[in-house]
Amino acid sequence: MKMEEDETLQGESERAKVETHAAPEIGRRISVSEFLCHCCYDILVNPTTLNCGHSFCRHCLALWWVSSKKNECPECREKWEGFPKVNILLRDVIEKLFSDAIEQRKEDIQQNSDVARSLATFQRYGNDQIPTVPNTGRINPRGGGFFSGVLTALTCVAVVLLGYHWSSREFEEDLLVHKPVAKWTAEEVILWLEQLGPWASHYKESFLLEKVNGRLLLTLTEEDFTKEPYSIQNSNHRKAIMAELECVKTLGVKPPQNLWEYKAVNPGKSLFLLYALKSSPRLSMLYLYLFDYAEAFLPFIHTICPTQEDKYEDVVTKLLVSVH
């Protein structure tokens, strides 16, 4: 047992001697030329490694960046992203191997005012880049990111819609589409009659003489129109007036007959059609066909694509008016 312990101690002492002699040999093999900066061709001070793998003195990289204003490697011209950091491992190795040379270089650098200014400018640039880096580790206390942007956009849309609504409200209050028939004045009854067509203007004088207001209009029948003072002899005209009068009685107000009146009755739908038909007309027409067939799709189609029968009826009506 004693012999084995002696052999173990002897082996450890020999290994220690080998390592002691090997360390100076390794140190002698590593020279300053292995750690030269390719900008100043001197030993690296605060070595900064770029994305491409090349390392430079930090003050050399700062001087290059200030003069060129380019985020690229001085040697291979490859662009670097983010903000370069000091290679701590490489710095510690160089400072341990060549401490005297590093201390001398640091003293020379500190005495150079141009280098100090360039380093300060370069560091300010790096500090400005920090907020742009996404931080997933904590919640931004200033806002909710995506949801904050959505909320801001919705608020802006709401403000625009409210402004649009209030700006057009004064004009829309005077329209008959918002005013009950019973409250119409004699002038408003004449306005309603004129909007039925050019043929109806022949009968407005008799309505003015009788001072027919909204209440009286609701009591009139087709038989009344055949008598004095109205004397509407054309049966087609009487039927047209009665049909429109029945529609007014049913709705309680005048149905929209032009763009402004339709916009006043349906502000939301008008705004939708304004932007939807402009950006995606086909999808908008499909939507109206599927979900708003009677109130929007059919009137729209009949307006832009009138049938031949309607044209024939218009011609007949004009002829009857001219004869009358």
Average pLDDT, the chain: 76
pLDDT value at residue 131: 57
In the predicted structure, residue 48 carries a pLDDT above the cut 80: yes
Strands (E) located in 31-153? 47-49, 55-57
pLDDT value at residue 2: 45
pLDDT value at residue 35: 84
Burial category of 242 from C-beta neighbours within 10 Å (exposed 0-12, middle 13-18, buried 19 and up) = middle
In the predicted structure, residue 50 carries a pLDDT above the cut 70: yes
pLDDT value at residue 22: 45
Pairing relation of β-strands 55-57 and 47-49? antiparallel
What is the rounded distance in angstroms from the CA atom of residue 259 to the CA atom of residue 164? 16
Q: Radius of gyration (Cα) for the chain, nearest Å?
A: 46
Average pLDDT over residues 154-174: 65
Q: What is residue 79's DSSP assignment?
A: B
If one compares 7 and 41, the residue with the highest pLDDT of the two is 41
Looking at domain 181-323, its CATH architecture is: Orthogonal Bundle (1.10)
Instruction: Indicate the range of 16-30, 99-113, 146-160 predicted with least confidence.
Output: 16-30
In the predicted structure, residue 191 carries a pLDDT above the cut 80: yes
Most confident of 132-136, 166-170, 309-313: 166-170
What is the rounded distance in angstroms from the CA atom of residue 272 to the CA atom of residue 172? 19
If one compares 234 and 8, the residue with the highest pLDDT of the two is 234
Angle between helices 99-110 and 88-97 in degrees, nearest 10? 110
Most confident of 99-103, 159-163, 256-260: 99-103
How far is residue 53 CA from its own chain's centroid?
Answer: 40
- Tell me if 40 sits within 8 A of 57, measured CB to CB: yes
In the predicted structure, residue 165 carries a pLDDT above the cut 70: no
pLDDT value at residue 8: 52
pLDDT value at residue 137: 47
Look at residues 228, 253, 236 and name the one whose alpha carbon lies nearest to residue 199: 236
Q: What is the pLDDT of residues 105-152, one digit of tens each?
A: 888 888 888 888 888 888 888 888 765 444 444 445 454 567 787 888
pTM: 0.36
Average pLDDT over residues 161-187: 68
Average pLDDT over residues 44-72: 88
Average pLDDT over residues 284-305: 81
The 3-class SS string of 136-172 reads CCCCCCCCCCHHHHHHHHHHHHHHHHHHHHHHHHHHH
Q: Give the count of beta carbons closer than 10 Å to the beta carbon of residue 55.
A: 22
pLDDT value at residue 57: 92
pLDDT value at residue 253: 80
Most confident of 176-185, 219-228, 292-301: 219-228
Q: Give the count of beta carbons closer than 10 Å to the beta carbon of residue 213.
A: 18
List residues bridging with 48 in a β-sheet.
56, 86
In the predicted structure, residue 166 carries a pLDDT above the cut 70: no
Angle between helices 267-279 and 146-173 in degrees, nearest 10? 120
54 CB-side CA count, 13 A: 17
List residues bridging with 47 in a β-sheet.
57
Phi first, then psi: give them for residue 6, nearest 5 degrees: -65, -40
Determine the CATH number of domain 32-129.
3.30.40.10
Burial category of 200 from C-beta neighbours within 10 Å (exposed 0-12, middle 13-18, buried 19 and up) = buried
In the predicted structure, residue 29 carries a pLDDT above the cut 70: no
Instruction: Mention every residue, 6+ apart, whose C-beta is less than 8 A from residue 48.
Output: 55, 56, 57, 58, 61, 84, 85, 86, 87
112-123 CB burial, b ≥16 within 10 A, e <16: eeebeebbeebe
- Tell me if 61 sits within 8 A of 39, measured CB to CB: yes
Phi first, then psi: give them for residue 144, nearest 5 degrees: -100, 20
Question: What residue spans define the domains of the chain?
Answer: 32-129, 181-323
